[in-house]
Amino acid sequence: MKFEIGNLKFMNCPYCTFADTRMKLHRHLAEAHLDRVTTEHDGATGKMRYIVACPLCGLKYQHAVKPRYRDPRFLEEFKAEIALVAFDQLLYHLEDTHPEVAEPPTAN
């Protein structure tokens, strides 16, 4: 059972006690938990990617970084943007795989 008010679905942050609508949680993740997104650089191919792991089961979601993002300054600037894509995947995963955790505790 998910806690819903109208069309607004409330979800728990998997990293802290924050709970709000999916949209606000998505923004919260990118702002408060940007450090959960890690980078991996393939020395052979020169490709770079961002990885976000599910804190509940360890499943990893990857997001390839476009070659033009290899500029370190560019990368810094777009990390938040890339993290939003990664966290969106994580939210879908939480809804599908861990609905019992995504559901906030009953008020009071």
Sequence-distant (6+) residues with CB within 8 A of 42 are 48, 49
| Shortest reach from residue 93's CB to Zn ion, in Å | 6
- Residue number, 21 or 97, with CB nearest to Zn ion: 97
Q: Residue 95 in 3-state DSSP?
A: helix
Q: Which residues bind Zn ion (CB under 5 A)?
A: 13, 15-16, 18, 32, 54, 56-57, 59, 97
Cβ at position 107, least distance to Zn ion in Å: 19
Q: Which is nearer to Zn ion, 69 or 90 (CB)?
A: 90
Which letter, b or e, does each residue of 32-43 get, where b requires 16 or more Cβ atoms within 10 Å of its Cβ?
Answer: ebeebbeeeeee
